[in-house]
Amino acid sequence: MQSNGYAYINTIGCQMNVYDSEKLAAILKALGFRHTTDMDQADIVVCNTCAIRHKAEEKAFSFLGRFAKAKRKKPRLLTVMAGCVAQQEGKKAFKRVPHLDLVLGTQAFSRFGQHIAALQSGRRQIVDTAPSDVIFDTMPDKADVSENQVSRFVTIMQGCDNFCTYCVVPYVRGRERSRSWESIVEEIRILADTGVREVTLLGQNVNSYGRREGGISFADLLEKVARVAGISRIRFATSHPKDLSCELIQAITDLDKVCSHLHLPVQSGSDRILKKMNRGYTREIYLSRINDLKNACPGIALSTDIIVGFPGETRTDFHDTMSLLTEVGFDAIFAFAYSDRSSAPASKFSDQVDEKEKMDRLNQLLALQDQVTEEKNKQVKGQVMQVLVEGVSAKQHADFVKTSDNMQQMTGRTASNKVVHFPSDTAAVGDLVDIQIMDAYLHSLWGQPLERQTS
């Protein structure tokens, strides 16, 4: 294949964008582009963008804006805005980035190759925000899965029908649609053959997998994925509390490969705010689901997403969110200050909260969670936890002693998604190792391997 030069891809946003960027990279590779991590070397620069909050959107524009000068020096350099901001902005993107060549919306990825060919034959400023029924149907090329990649994302559905009032996703990703289970399982088989041991199944609301198509349920999909040889762990995100079924809770308990960890975004602890957000559950319903989960799967790790400063959020509402954190005892949270998105309905709501107040609330919430997380991490001291080895640690722990030539400090994760560092002279990437936890910190655990690991 004739070389087309180098491609640089910058990915902003959620795990689905990471997955989408892998697909874009595969298309570029098939067109003869070689991957580069040096943007000055690039002949094509792609920014896969996120519109969820103002800051993410600004990051995309400022990244792409930087290439004006490079394009003057190298006129054949192609610049592409892909993903959610591209879908949202359409041709308006050229106003802010006049040197942009291609605006590739979220449903236009399957047409990426043909747009590149058109640009190379002289067309300029292509916009494709048209819908498509095709959700990724291309399989990963074994050669593209780099060695040592132990964990990969697999998107199982696109879009969202929930219309939470603060969120742009339904507008930029379109209606919910699911991939066939056959293509998902085939993709995971290919990944397993290349050494991948853990897959995270992705969708905005995985609990409603296959609902529109009338296919198998998400719990049934988990069972099929669990049968793939070579895969030792299965994770998934995101579950919507209103659709969390008993069948799914049962699948988490019954299927050994499904990690005992659930990411269940609550967004707020106040019923008034949950209603204005259109979340479809109350604090009580959320807490009762958590209770069911804790009863069915004792020790299950829980994480959540929270928005502070939603329009009309009073100090009392905020304190309801704070108290929910302590009541549930999440292992981790992802908290955000409400960011006004003009295409989402909440943008029209009155009583927008002052920016400074939002930041104060965010900091209070994060400080409280740090205490909860550290406490939860300390609770596992002394326990033996199974760790999937991901590689060599970047930083050495004070207790690390090199007792043999091969001894290294390795890092991996527990099924509950906690990072563990440990010394070993035998553990290899992809191994499952039993580690006794000796020390616990806010962001990681330190332990000693119990015995020689098994693959």
- Residues lying near ligand SF4 in the complex (CB under 6 A) are found at 160, 162-164, 167, 169-170, 204-205, 240
Q: Does 413 sit near ligand SAH (CB under 6 A)?
A: no
Q: Are 350 and 311 in contact (CB under 8 A)?
A: yes
Under the criterion CB under 6 A, does residue 111 sit at the interface with ligand F3S?
Answer: no
Tell which one of 21, 88, 267, 270 touches ligand SAH (CB under 6 A).
267
261 near 416, Cβ under 8 Å? yes
Does residue 111 belong to the site contacting ligand SAH (CB under 6 A)?
no
User: Which is closer to ligand SAH, CB of 103 or CB of 353?
Assistant: 353
- Is residue 361 within the footprint of ligand SAH (CB under 6 A)? no
84 makes contact with ligand F3S (CB under 6 A): yes
CB of 355 to ligand SAH, least distance (A): 13
The option from ligand SF4, ligand SAH, ligand F3S, none interacting with 16 (CB < 5 to 8 A, set by class) reads ligand F3S
Site string for ligand SAH, 35-54 (x = CB under 6 A): -----------------xx-
| Mask for 28-57, x = binds ligand F3S (CB under 6 A) | ----------------------xxx-----
Is 307 a binding residue for ligand SAH by CB under 6 A? The answer is yes
User: C-beta of 207: minimal distance to ligand SF4 in Å?
Assistant: 10
In the bound complex, what is the minimum distance in angstroms from residue 209's beta carbon to ligand SAH?
13
Q: Could you tell me the smallest distance in angstroms from the CB atom of residue 265 to ligand F3S?
A: 12
Among ligand SF4, ligand F3S, ligand SAH, none, the one that 339 touches (CB under a kind-dependent 5 to 8 A) is ligand SAH
Of 9, 17, 318, 440, the one binding ligand F3S (CB under 6 A) is: 17
The identity of residue 440, as a single letter, is A
Question: Which residue in the shown chain puts its C-beta closest to ligand F3S?
Answer: 13
Q: Is 14 in the site for ligand F3S (CB under 6 A)?
A: yes
Count of C-beta atoms within a 10 Å radius of residue 452: 11
Q: Does 105 bind ligand F3S (CB under 6 A)?
A: no
The mark string for 149-168 relative to ligand SAH (x by CB under 6 A, - otherwise) is -----------------xx-
Q: Assess 422 for contact with ligand SAH (CB under 6 A).
A: no
Total site size for ligand F3S, rule CB under 6 A: 13
CB nearer to ligand SF4: pick between 276 and 421: 276
333 binds, among ligand F3S, ligand SF4, ligand SAH, none (CB under 5 to 8 A by kind): none
Q: What is the 3-state secondary structure (H, E, C) of 384-444?
A: EEEEEEEEECCCCCCCCCCCCCCCEEEEEEECCCCEEEEEECCCCCCCEEEEEEEEECCCC
Single-letter code of the amino acid located at 12: I
Q: Is 164 in the site for ligand F3S (CB under 6 A)?
A: no
Q: Does 169 bind ligand F3S (CB under 6 A)?
A: yes
Residue 51's binding partner out of ligand F3S, ligand SAH, ligand SF4, none, with CB under 5 to 8 Å set by partner kind = ligand F3S
- Least Å distance between CB 192 and ligand SAH? 27
Q: Is 110 exposed, middle or buried (0-12, 13-18, 19+ CB in 10 A)?
A: middle
Considering the complex, state which of residue 19 and residue 441 has its C-beta at the smaller distance from ligand SAH: 19
Q: Which stretch binds ligand F3S (CB under 6 A): 169-177, 240-248, 261-269, 417-425?
A: 169-177
What is the per-residue burial (b if ≥16 Cβ within 10 Å, else e) of 21-37? bbbbbbbbbebebeebe
Would you say 111 or 173 has its CB closer to ligand F3S? 173
> Under a CB-based contact definition with an 8 Å cutoff, are residues 415 and 386 in contact?
yes
Residue 198 — φ and ψ, nearest 5°?
Answer: -130, 135
Instruction: Kindly list the residues in this chain that would bind ligand SAH in the complex (CB under 6 A).
Output: 52-53, 166-167, 169, 204-205, 238, 240, 265, 267, 305, 307, 336, 338-339, 341
Instruction: Kindly list the residues in this chain that would bind ligand F3S in the complex (CB under 6 A).
Output: 13-14, 16-17, 50-52, 83-84, 168-169, 172-173
